[in-house]
Copies of this chain bind each other. A is one copy, B any other.
Amino acid sequence: MYQRKIPIDYSCGLSIAMEVVGSKWKFCILDEISKGATRPRDLVKEINGISKRVLQNQLKELEMHDLLGKIVYSEVPLRVEYYLTPAGETLMPLIAAVNKWGEGYAPRLKEILEGEPTTVPV
Report which A residues bind B (CB closer than 8 A).
Answer: 5-6, 8-10, 12-20, 22-25, 27-28, 31, 48-49, 64-66, 87, 90-91, 93-95, 97-106, 108-110, 112-113
Contacts and interface: CB of A to CB of B under 8 A. Distances in A.
B12 A66 contact: no
| Count of chain copies | 2
Given A64-B112, A94-B98, A98-B94, A105 B12 contact: no
Tell me the dominant secondary structure on chain A's binding face.
helix
Contact of A8 (B31, B90, B113): B113
A41 to B, nearest CB: 19
14 contacts: A6-B49, A8-B113, A12-B99, A13-B100, A13-B104, A13-B106, A14-B95, A15-B102, A16-B105, A17-B27, A18-B28, A22-B23, A66-B108, A91-B101
A112 B103 CA distance: 34
Contacts of A101: 13, 17, 90-91, 94
Nearest to A100: B13
A102 B27 contact: no
